[in-house]
Structure 1
Amino acid sequence: MNTQDRPSAPSTAQSPTPLRIDVVSDVMCPWCIIGYRQLATALEATDTDYELHWHPFELNPEMPAEGQNLREHIVEKYGATPEQSEQNRAQMTKLGEDLGFDFRFEPEMRMHNTFDAHQLLHWAETQNRKHALKQALFSAHFTHHRDLSDTSVLADIAAEIGLDRDTALEVLQDQRFAGAVREVQNFWRSQGIQGVPAVIFDQKHLVSGAQGVENFTNILGQLAEIRQG
């Protein structure tokens, strides 16, 4: 996988090679953007030299094209009461605010099928724009309520971060990366990944969920000690 499109962190004497970070996630997952922002804050605070790689995961691979109302989906899938759902959304909104991400939950928000979005991300990696597109898709869904199962919307978002819209649309229409995305998804499932976010450090240390800035900072410190031998 190619290193994502972000400025390289300064190298450190303690780490001869950058810390590899693989993040398995879905853009429908609020905890994925929260967890990433927490990790990014910890990485900056610890001045860690790293390279980040995003990988696909579908929370709802059987989701129909028209999607489903978010509140109905949460009740149906997780059995949460309306009160519990409201508390969870309030918690996520506050966490987002603290991390500089704008959650705007509304009653008519919908869950969408993300297989096409993952194919677009796969293509964006060949253009060294996967990280930028991933962030744009999170914002498109949670802040602006755009339909990420609509190929025209996905092509628009790709264009907004500087990718060629016509090529993006062709990628989505001919499904040229469908097999490749399925292969990557199957690989991570074979590694035991059943929920996201899943963060794998140096291809051997798995951390599941949004751990919080403090915990991620501690984890990075422990990894630095391990890497120093």
Structure 2
Amino acid sequence: MTDSTPASTVPSPRDPVVVDVWSDIACPWCFIGKRKFEAAVERFEGDVTVEYHSFELSPDTPVDFEGDEIDFLSKHKGMPADQVQGMLDNVAGIAAEVGLAYDFDALKHTNTVKAHQLLHFAKARGRQLDMKERLLSAYFEEGRHVGRVQDLADLAADIGLDRDEVVAALESDAHLADVRDDQRQAQAYGISGVPFFVLEGKYGISGAQAPETFLGALQQVVAERVAAAAPAVGADR
């Protein structure tokens, strides 16, 4: 799986399947969905290119939220704390099934707009997929802060990006317009929740579906390409 590159106007059956993914760093199902999609790609007999796009689940969240994940969800969703704890335990269990070690006790809830800008910065340097993985792991498994510029610059340096360049780009909001463009496209597609996968700009898959669902969709794209490339029945020889 590689970072997304522009596809030809009429892709051949052998061309990579282009997948655009709308997700948020602060979305536990997005990391789970990423792992399930990756499992499908491993089984897919073909190439896939991926590009991640920005979606903020809670854009009004402060950078430094006072409280833990239970406090946030209790206030944000109006749920009692014990119900929230049960929900988090369930999600952590599902995450463990795909090899993820969620630590909701250590998680630092924050605003993710700067993290999304960092993903665009990384995309411009061909490292978006690595940056996405680093951010999700830092947030859900390591209890790292992903809302402050300096913390984000540290995470970017972990994958080899220039720390000073990252700080300059985030402090100047160099990629904020790119984030907003992604969000407008999500609205145009009617996306109201994430993760949301768009294959070839025309097939949408919502949620952290089973690998078989993603694999079937990838295979369908290729089958349609093969059918489109086949000579018409009764064509002149």
User: Which TM-score bucket, shorter chain as reference?
Assistant: 0.7 to 0.9
Q: What is the percent sequence identity of the aligned residues?
A: 33
**Aligned counterpart, 1:91:** 90
Deviation (angstroms), 1:5: 4.6
**Aligned counterpart, 1:204:** 202
After superposition, residues 59-78 of structure 1 pair within 5 angstroms as 59-68=57-66, 69-78=68-77
TM-aligned CA distance change 1:83 to 1:179, over 3 Å? same
1:4 & 1:177 partners in 2: Cα distance? 21
Partners of 1:26 and 1:59 within 8 A in 2: yes
Deviation (angstroms), 1:47: 2.6
**Aligned counterpart, 1:9:** none
TM-aligned CA distance change 1:83 to 1:182, over 3 Å? same
**Aligned counterpart, 1:129:** 127
1:158 & 1:148 partners in 2: Cα distance? 11
Partners of 2:3 and 2:49 within 8 A in 1: no
After superposition, residues 63-212 of structure 1 pair within 5 angstroms as 63-68=61-66, 69-106=68-105, 109-212=107-210
**Aligned counterpart, 1:35:** 33
Deviations 1:38-72 (A, max 9, x none): 01101111233111011011111111222253112
Name the amino acid aligned to 1:102. A
Name the amino acid aligned to 2:182. V
Partners of 1:112 and 1:149 within 8 A in 2: yes
Any unmatched runs of 5+ in structure 1?
7-13
Any unmatched runs of 5+ in structure 2?
5-11, 228-237
What is the number of equivalent residue pairs in this alignment? 219
2:209 & 2:148 partners in 1: Cα distance? 32
TM-aligned CA distance change 1:82 to 1:213, over 3 Å? farther
Partners of 1:4 and 1:128 within 8 A in 2: no
Looking at CA atoms only, which structure, 1 or 2, has the larger radius of gyration? 2
Name the amino acid aligned to 1:62. D
Name the amino acid aligned to 1:98. E
Partners of 1:199 and 1:206 within 8 A in 2: yes
Partners of 1:22 and 1:200 within 8 A in 2: yes
1:225 & 1:80 partners in 2: Cα distance? 45
* TM-score of the aligned structures, taking structure 1 as reference length: 0.88
SS of structure 1 residue aligned to 2:22: strand
Q: How well do the aligned residues superpose, as a CA RMSD in angstroms?
A: 2.0
From 15, 18, 37, the counterpart of 1:17: 15
Partners of 1:5 and 1:132 within 8 A in 2: no
TM-aligned CA distance change 1:169 to 1:86, over 3 Å? same
**Aligned counterpart, 1:217:** 215
Deviations 1:169-211 (A, max 9, x none): 1111111111222122222222211110010011000110011
2:83 & 2:221 partners in 1: Cα distance? 36
Deviations 1:115-150 (A, max 9, x none): 111111111111111110010000110011111111
SS of structure 2 residue aligned to 1:111: coil
* TM-score of the aligned structures, taking structure 2 as reference length: 0.85
Q: Runs in 1 of length 4+ with deviation above 4 angstroms? A: 3-6
> Which shows bigger deviation, 154-163 or 41-50?
41-50
